[in-house]
A = this chain, B = another copy of it.
């Protein structure tokens, strides 16, 4: 059944590992054609093949010290252009009509900012015309054009964002994010083989999971889906029968678990400004200085200092920002009259996320108990409405995740000779 101009639209997104070679590209072509044959007007957003973006980044790194700006985007944008043309060739070979579109041809208009532009508007006329003419449309992820017609790129997770934004602009029925795993899991199956696939997850849980280090979907894409109330699905390229994980506004109340997912983030650094004078404006000075350098801060804790009338202020930053943070803090220390700065990069942030924990007391206690049972010391705790994070020693991070998973998903660990999931690559 071929779609017509009244048929619903589906947007599909395929990541770089799904199009890494000719055989994988043909598989992606089959998935897309299969959707078209079910009567959907079909749009697929494709990332750059395999490691090709890394190769372009490396080339730029050999040509200049700080790659950026218009030309860096012009370079990086070519990776996705290769993919969409390649998938189009494969679909045409199957006897279907496919057309590839780059950011300009697909009408994806962004801010004038380079390297991490946001999408402002998608002018869908060209795209819709091709869909209505019976074409399968393949759109480059990660890129758009600015007001001058120059290519821009969207930064990390850009292709997910492109797919969700197109889903909204085309008023499509659904956005399917295809990956080489079955969906979103209760935790990383490479760390805990007993991890359970989640059937439904709310946008807000998904965003929190992404923020605490689960490599699931980019928070910006999830936020865009939440704002547009877009049906977003993460599913597998190797099992089309599996419905994957669906992101929705509110998860139905009959879900058993207070905790939806457990994540571990090893790319954090902990700083403490010790012996800060106890007067107004100190925290504002510290975090204002960090914000001025574009350093994002997480897990802020203030506690009484050893010396009377002083406070210790501790927090975490991404480890790539650690060097800059230390430079900023050394300057701030003298300005505010603090005693010392300490830092620790040998840390792991272990978090549990779940909308269900709002109404249920004792979840935090269960998490701390699980860590105690594994003999793991907690260095810092931070909580939000639907999230609890603990800092632990870096080499205990995975043990922490396993212990916590066993505590909150005991049925998955009922027998210890459980089969390891056949395919993870989470």
Q: Which residues of A contact B (CB under 8 A)?
A: 22, 25-26, 56, 59-60, 62-65, 67, 69-72, 74-75, 77-78, 81-82, 84-86, 88-90, 92-93, 98-100, 104-105, 149
Q: Please determine whether B89 and A72 come into contact, CB atoms closer than 8 angstroms.
A: yes
**What CA separation (Å) do A26 and B65 show in the bound complex?**
13
Q: Please determine whether A63 and B86 come into contact, CB atoms closer than 8 angstroms.
A: yes
Given A59-B86, A105-B149, check contact A92 B78 (CB 8 Å).
Answer: no
User: Nearest residue in B to A105 (C-beta to C-beta)?
Assistant: B149
Q: A22-B63, A63-B89, A71-B100 are in contact. List 20 more A-B contacts (CB 8 A).
A: A22-B59, A22-B62, A25-B63, A56-B82, A59-B82, A59-B86, A60-B86, A60-B89, A63-B93, A69-B92, A71-B85, A71-B88, A72-B89, A75-B81, A75-B82, A75-B86, A75-B89, A78-B78, A78-B81, A105-B149
**What CA separation (Å) do A67 and B25 show in the bound complex?**
15
Q: Please determine whether A85 and B93 come into contact, CB atoms closer than 8 angstroms.
A: no
Q: Please determine whether A92 and B105 come into contact, CB atoms closer than 8 angstroms.
A: no
Q: Please determine whether B63 and A90 come into contact, CB atoms closer than 8 angstroms.
A: yes
Given A62-B22, A63-B25, A82-B78, check contact A71 B89 (CB 8 Å).
Answer: yes
How many copies of this protein are present in the complex?
Answer: 2
Chain B residues in 8 Å Cβ range of A75: 81-82, 85-86, 89
Q: Please determine whether B88 and A74 come into contact, CB atoms closer than 8 angstroms.
A: yes
Chain B residues in 8 Å Cβ range of A81: 74-75, 77-78, 81
Q: Please determine whether A64 and B90 come into contact, CB atoms closer than 8 angstroms.
A: yes
Interchain CB contact (< 8 A) of A71 among B63, B92, B105:
B92
**What CA separation (Å) do A70 and B138 show in the bound complex?**
13
Chain B CB within 10 Å, residue with most, of A26, A78, A85: A85
Given A22-B62, A74-B100, A100-B74, check contact A67 B82 (CB 8 Å).
Answer: no
Chain B residues in 8 Å Cβ range of A70: 99
Chain B residues in 8 Å Cβ range of A69: 92
A56 to nearest B CB, angstroms?
A: 7
**What CA separation (Å) do A60 and B86 show in the bound complex?**
7
The 5 residue pairs across chains A and B that have the minimum distance between CB atoms = A22-B62, A75-B85, A64-B93, A74-B85, A71-B88
Interchain CB contact (< 8 A) of A64 among B59, B60, B77, B89:
B89
Chain B residues in 8 Å Cβ range of A74: 81, 84-85, 88, 100
**What CA separation (Å) do A74 and B72 show in the bound complex?**
20
Chain B residues in 8 Å Cβ range of A85: 71-72, 74-75, 78
User: Nearest residue in B to A60 (C-beta to C-beta)?
Assistant: B89
- 6 A-B pairs with CB atoms under 8 Å apart are A22-B59, A67-B89, A71-B85, A71-B98, A75-B89, A78-B85
**What CA separation (Å) do A77 and B102 show in the bound complex?**
12
**What CA separation (Å) do A104 and B81 show in the bound complex?**
14
Chain B residues in 8 Å Cβ range of A86: 59-60, 63, 75
Given A71-B100, A85-B71, A100-B71, check contact A65 B78 (CB 8 Å).
Answer: no
Chain B CB within 10 Å, residue with most, of A26, A75, A99: A75
User: Nearest residue in B to A138 (C-beta to C-beta)?
Assistant: B71
Chain B residues in 8 Å Cβ range of A100: 71, 74
Chain B residues in 8 Å Cβ range of A82: 56, 59, 75, 78
A82 to nearest B CB, angstroms?
A: 5
Chain B residues in 8 Å Cβ range of A25: 63
